[in-house]
Amino acid sequence: MIRDLLRPSGTVELTKRPRRLRSSPTMRDLVRESEVRIGSLVQPLFIADEGQPAGEIASMPGVFRYRVDDVAPECRTLAKLGINAVLLFGIPDRKDAVASSAHDPAGVVQRTIRAIKSAVPEMLVIADLCNCEYTDHGHCGILDENGEVDNDATLELLGRTALSYAEAGVDIVAPSDMMDGRVGYLRATLDGSGYSALPIMSYAVKFASGFYGPFREAADSTPHFGDRRGYQMDPPNAREAVREALLDLDEGADILIVKPALAYMDLIRAVREVSDVPVACYSVSGEYAMVKAAARNGWIDEDRIVDETLAGFVRAGADIIITYFAKSYAQRHGTRGPAA
């Protein structure tokens, strides 16, 4: 190639100069290939019941545990910034072996859903559907006599909780437990009770990840023994990720989530290519904490890193981005997308 460009005199005559299109901010804006839309960001929110501590989460500076009464005002602020959707996690007062408070009609998440939908009806309320915050052992389902999570018994529990969220007025349910067959089970359960219009946003591709560390402090959901490797995926597996995505699609998932995001961008792309539903990525607590920690040390520029990372998710194929930076991103970039 380069040899073709050489003149007899030996000087290089370049004809292809990609730098021509990088000459100014407006030129770069003209040729920009993808854009982070604020309307596609989802802000996760933690809600602590009365007996649980509220306030800033130590390992996630800028992220708070709210009281039920404080969530609607926060949603109003988010809506003004152009954030359309929140993802709810509850920290209940009562935990037991069978996660009873997960499907309590007066549970912390059910009360929060009602509060948001009556105060800020246009806000899309997504409820994370899992048992780990509600079990006293911290696992995502009901345990059998060997201490393993019993898949099919857990499905029934998820179905009850999904119905209680539906009755409270939730807009989307997001099962994050990784039980086999739960999307099909939930679809049938919801349809059977008149909720056929309620979408399921499935954590289809969810890995057993060290990046969840700060979340488990935030949501008080660390397993008291063992780990989640018996139900969450093994990080090196990509073919299996596609299989999980296709199974959930087949069972009726409306939106597929890949989680975590940063270390799994290849799978955001892979899932995007094998499916025709919206693909979300969840940039998890550890991803947030790493950026915050390095920025606080003055080692990186937080805003640039966040902009670059979110742009990367879009480039990888994410239609929806769940991120703890949603609010601050919207504050910095207004209600239109940024010049990334």
The residues annotated as belonging to the active site are 206, 259
Could you say which residues in the range 219-258 bind ligand PBG, by CB under 6 A?
Answer: 228
Least distance in angstroms from the C-beta of 340 to ligand PBG: 23
Work out whether 128 is an interface residue with ligand PBG (CB under 6 A): yes
Based on CB atoms, which residue is closest to ligand PBG, 132 or 173? 132
How many CA atoms lie less than 13 Å away from 190 in the CB half-sphere?
27
Question: Which one among 46, 212, 313, 325 touches ligand PBG, defined by CB under 6 A?
Answer: 212
- Residue among 113 and 340 whose Cβ is closer to ligand PBG: 113
Comparing CA positions, the residue from 211, 49, 71, 203 lying closest to residue 140 is 203
Q: What is the DSSP string of 207-247?
A: B--GGGHHHHHHHT---SSS-STTTSBPTT-SHHHHHHHHH
The residue from 38, 91, 123, 130 that contacts ligand PBG (CB under 6 A) is: 130
Q: Using the rule CB under 6 A, is 264 a contact of ligand PBG?
A: no
Site for ligand PBG in 62-81 (CB under 6 A): none
Q: In the beta sheet, which residues pair with residue 258?
A: 205, 281
- Could you give the string, one character per residue 37-56, with x where binding to ligand PBG holds by CB under 6 A and - elsewhere? --------------------
Q: Does 309 sit near ligand PBG (CB under 6 A)?
A: no
Which residue, 287 or 340, has its beta carbon nearer to ligand PBG? 287
Cα distance between residue 210 and residue 108, in whole Å: 27
The least distance separating ligand PBG from the CB of residue 174, rounded to whole angstroms, comes to 8
Contact 167, 105 (CB under 8 A): yes
Look at residue 271 and give its three-state secondary structure.
helix
* Residues between 153 and 182 with contacts to ligand PBG, criterion CB under 6 A: 176
Size of the site for ligand PBG (CB under 6 A): 10
Site string for ligand PBG, 265-304 (x = CB under 6 A): -------------------xx-------------------
Pairing of strands 55-57, 60-66: antiparallel
Dihedrals φ, ψ of 308, to 5°? -65, -40
Is residue 302 classed as helix, strand or coil in its secondary structure?
helix
Give dist(CA 303, CA 300) in Å, integer: 9
| Phi and psi torsions of 303, nearest 5° | -60, -45
Interface positions with ligand PBG (CB under 6 A): 128, 130, 132, 176, 212, 215-216, 228, 284-285
